[in-house]
A and B are shown apart, each in its own frame.
Chain A
Amino acid sequence: MKYACRRVAMLAVTMVIVSLLAFVAFDLISGDPATAMLGTEATPEKVAALQKELGLDRPLLVRYGAWLLGFFTGDLGVSYSYHQSVWDLIAPKVAVTLCLSLLSFLLIAAVSIPLGLRSAVRSGGVLDGARTVLNQLCMAVPPLFTGILLSWLFSTTLRWFIHGQFPALSADFWGAMKYLLFAAVAIAIPRIAMTVRMLRSTVRQELQKDYVRTAISRGNDRSAVLRRHVLKNALVPVVTFLAQTMAEIVAGSIVVEQVFAIPGLGRMLVASISSRDYPTVQAIVVILAFWVVLAGAVADLVNQRIDPRLRLGGRS
């Protein structure tokens, strides 16, 4: 329980720090929201008036304090660009990016764990060499490129989906998931390759250990030993790695959403940064940070299940 409390506190502190960093970063780059909003209509007087109206003439920390207060009272503010509540603006996008991330994650987990195990057990030979090359290749291609390639193959050529026609999640959930699947594959490919390689090396290390030899010499079935003992031990670092992957998935989704024209959080983030739409940027940054930190916390919990020794919370 104490441990859980500590985790929640850490989560809150991380998020506050992230939001503060985002706030400060925006103060440092050129271009301010008032000028961006006025565009070519901007004159120094108009900019000053608008800054005052938006409260941008206040010192940084005061602005940050006001934002933080709003955040904790459930008020994310009003978007400078769209003149509507930030929450209404991003809520549908949170759902889209959440689906995309989960789909990518499931793909990574579902493909890389069996594949990693298999390649660990059957190592050596020509096939193994070919696999290593393929693995390297998959790791090297950026999602941007895979995305374009997949789109060209499955939309332009095979017509399995219509590129640029992402249905709203609420209107056609399965249609949307099908569309997202192609984007998820683009995100997943390099991560699958990495996870496979990692799992392969941890499993192989584990296979060298004495307990494996003992178990097998006692007459246990080799594959049962692999499933019941080796995998359990080899999985701990992999779960931690997969949690870190969550952060990479989120980063990957920013690119892939652009390529597949998916109206998600990543695209919204890029657009609101370039139009200096602070309230929207802040909200998205905090949501993404929460998502990533949460993934870490979940990984810890999963690892404790796998290996009860970790329940001591690091006091060994």
Chain B
Amino acid sequence: MKKNLLGLLLSVALVCAVLSGCGDGSAAQTSEDRVAANAIVVGIAQDLDDSLDPHKTVKAGTREVMFNVFEGLMKPTPNGDLTPAVAESYTVSEDHRTYTFSLREGVKFHNGEPVTAEDVVSSIQRCAAATETGIVQVEAFSVMEDIRATDERTVSITISEPSNEFLSYLTTAILPAGYDQQDTAPVGTGPFRFVSRTAQDSIVLERFDDYWGMPAQLKQVTFKIIENADSLMMSLQSGAIDLCGHLTSTQTAQLGDDFDVAEGTMNLVQALYLNNAEAPFDDVRVRQALSYAVDRQAIIDLAFDGYGSPIGSSMYPAFGKYFDESLTDYYACDAERSKRLLAEAGYPDGFEMTITVPSNYKPHMDTAEVLVQQLAAVGVRATIAPIEWESWVSDVYTNRQFQSTVVGVDASNMTARALLERFTSTYGKNFINYNNADYDRLFREVLATYDDEKQTALYKEMEKNLTENAANVYLQDLADLVAVRKGLTGVTFYPIYVLDLSGIRYTA
């Protein structure tokens, strides 16, 4: 018996020694090893299970990562402007209809080939025509009358109507003409080049040494895919991950001393989106009543520890000049007024409603739970119907079979149009079925206006229209909390959903 016990103890000790020993393989990497190698690991909660071809990518998470690999003629800056990238400069003709781009000298693709005017023309044409299946058609290119390479280094584009937003769409990625492996082995001109993707595991990017501009600071960036929230937290604590965005305040509180937390915005319009075509939400009084019933700040305080910016229309603060702050408090929480409006609309005892929420997005689930409580105070009995994201896309977004839903809507580029066009009555992605003649007219005027100031005023009027008619119950732009390992710096926030790696570096 004693012998047995001794044997047992010895073998346990042996196992422990082997397991805790550091003599095992070289692949194990501590954060110190990564500092020496000038590499970082970024944790992301979603896989890039999408086409990596930037013209086909539909997932925001994929765009967020691949932002580092691709560039267009123009490229967005952190403060919401555009700066020439593949183009060195451009001129606009007197009638504002012809853009002439001179290409930058020495811009190379990651495969070593120089960028030619033909590459530019074919890339833009590919998105304008969208004849290949899977290409996301850029609607704004429909105004394009002509695009041609006037010489080896010059591209001119003519559009039918003057438009001061056209330039924003020229952030469309420039790809090598005729290269057909973009889906899985993408090639672009950005500061990082794509190395590999292992499904459900990782994506590896490396610094592109022939980059035309300021080279990236880091040599290698590995994106590690960890969907499970507990696992993600443990990977941060164990030292496997150096940087991770989109965390909740509860998560960042658990991080400990190894991390700093950078706070930005998610750049989403989070709202209780209402199906305007379906009773009772076809009645503007009901929609207004819900808007009065909701206390935005209380949601932010209760579910997000106070992080988040309340909004009052389909526009978020990072958009600067298009954001109208006065709309935020248009519907100050007022239960009495809400009940009165409900009574006027014929619902003195409230009604039952369903809030469909994509269950994998915890912030939206948390928000919905607070909403249910707040709505109950005015007699509206709401129930949450959790749904898988893929089912949300097909049932709610595409087939519009829903009553209400809590999600965040983002902008694919830095124009007000990206956020506001979707509520015009004929637009294919108007999933809330908003149908307002004034709104449609305002948007037509926007398209016909070239003067920037006038156009901005019109966009603000569109926002006001959405607010006054309570198209949706607008809530907030979520805070984006990013855990950054101490010793790393250079995280910049953009008004769109991207993670720019080029400025991130080790301080020591």
Binding site for B on A (CB under 8 A): 30-32, 35-44, 47, 49-50, 53, 79, 81-84, 89, 92-93, 148, 151-152, 154-156, 158-168, 171-175, 178, 181, 258-261, 263, 267-268, 271, 274-277
> Known interface pairs A53-B133, A164-B43. Does A275 touch B390 (Cβ–Cβ under 8 Å)?
yes
Contact status A162-B51, CB under 8 Å: no
Task: Judge whether A83 and B183 touch: CB under 8 Å.
Answer: yes
Q: A31-B388, A158-B20 are in contact. Are A83 and B51 (CB under 8 A)?
A: yes
The verdict on B30 contacting chain A, using a C-beta distance below 8 Å, is yes
In the complex, chain B residues whose CB is within 8 Å of the CB of A174: 24-25
Known: A172-B25, A175-B27. A160 touches B20 (CB 8 A): yes
Bound together, the chains give a CA A53 to CA B131 distance in angstroms of: 13
What are 5 A-to-B residue pairs whose CB atoms are below 8 Å?
A: A30-B394, A39-B58, A89-B199, A178-B19, A263-B199
**Contact between chains at A276 and B25 (CB < 8 Å):** no
The smallest beta-carbon distance between A281 and chain B, in angstroms, is 13
The reply to whether A155 and B25 contact each other, CB–CB distance below 8 Å, is no
B29 within 8 A of A: yes
Evaluate contact between A50 and B134: CB separation under 8 angstroms: yes
Pick the contact of B19: A43, A92, A181, A277 (CB < 8 A).
A181
Contacts of A49 in B (CB 8 A): 133
B394 A40 Cβ-Cβ under 8 A: no
A259:B43 contact, CB within 8 angstroms? no
Q: How far is the CA of A259 from the CA of B59 in the complex (A)?
A: 24
* Complex Cα–Cα for A83 and B133 (A): 13
CB closest residue in chain A, given B50: A81
Q: How far is the CA of A161 from the CA of B24 in the complex (A)?
A: 11
Q: With A84-B184, A164-B238 in contact, do A31 and B227 touch (Cβ < 8 Å)?
A: no
Residues in A neighbouring B200, C-beta threshold 8 A: 93, 263, 267-268, 271
Known: A163-B231, A172-B26, A175-B28. A39 touches B59 (CB 8 A): yes
Identify A35's interface contact among B51, B184, B199, B394, CB under 8 A.
Answer: B394
Q: Are B397 and A43 in contact (CB under 8 A)?
A: no
B428 contacts the other chain (CB 8 A):
yes
Residue in chain A with minimal CB distance to B185: A84
Shortest beta-carbon contacts, A-B, top 7: A164-B235, A172-B25, A164-B240, A167-B27, A263-B201, A175-B25, A81-B49
How far is B51's CA from A268's CA once the two chains are assembled, in angstroms?
17
B126 to A: closest C-beta gap in Å: 15
Collect the chain A residues with CB atoms within 8 Å of residue B184's CB: 82-84
B389 within 8 A of A: yes
Q: Is B47 an interface residue (CB 8 A)?
A: yes
CA distance A53 to B184 in the complex (A): 19
Residues on A with C-beta less than 8 A from B364 are none
| Alpha-carbon distance between A83 and B62 when the two chains are bound, in angstroms | 14
| A259 CA to B231 CA, complexed, in Å | 5
Q: Are A43 and B234 in contact (CB under 8 A)?
A: no
Contact B238 A274 (CB under 8 A): no
A151 to B, closest residue via Cβ: B234
**1/0 contact trace for B8-27 toward A, CB 8 Å?**
00000000001110001111
A259–B27 touching, CB < 8 Å: no
Are A163 and B240 within 8 A (Cβ)? Answer: yes
Query: Does B507 interact with chain A (Cβ within 8 Å)?
Result: no
Minimum C-beta distance from A280 to chain B (A): 9
Residue B140 lies at the interface, judged by CB distance under 8 Å to chain A:
no
**A267 smallest CB distance to B (angstroms):** 5
Q: Which chain B residues lie closer than 8 Å to A84 at the CB level?
A: 183-184
Give 6 new A-B contacts, CB below 8 A, not counting A31-B393, A50-B134: A37-B58, A154-B19, A156-B234, A164-B234, A167-B25, A259-B228
Residues of A within 8 A of B107 (CB): none
Of A39, A49, A79, A167, the most chain B CB neighbours within 10 A belong to A39
Whether A92 pairs with B394 at a CB distance below 8 angstroms is: no
Q: CA separation between A151 and B389, bound complex, in Å?
A: 29
Are the CB atoms of B228 and A42 closer together than 8 Å? no
Q: Chain B CB within 10 Å — which of A30, A79, A84, A152 has the most?
A: A30
CB of A268 within 8 A of CB of B199, answer: yes
B284 sits at the interface (CB 8 A) = no
B238: chain A residues at CB < 8 Å are 155-156, 159, 161-165
How long is the Cα–Cα vector from A36 to B227 in the complex, in angstroms? 18
Shortest C-beta distance, A137 to chain B (Å), equals: 20
- Of chain B, the residue at the smallest CB distance from A42 is B398
From B25, B27, B29, B391, contact of A31 by CB (8 A): B391
Please name all residues of chain A whose beta carbon is closer than 8 Å to the beta carbon of B202 when the two chains form the complex: 263
- B453 at the binding interface (Cβ < 8 Å): no
Find the A residue at minimum CB distance from B226.
A261
User: How far is A174 from B389 in the complex, measured between Cα atoms in Å?
Assistant: 38
Write out the residue numbers on chain B whose beta carbons fall within 8 Å of the beta carbon of A53: 133
User: In the bound complex, do residue A36 and residue B25 qualify as a contact, i.e. CB atoms below 8 Å apart?
Assistant: no
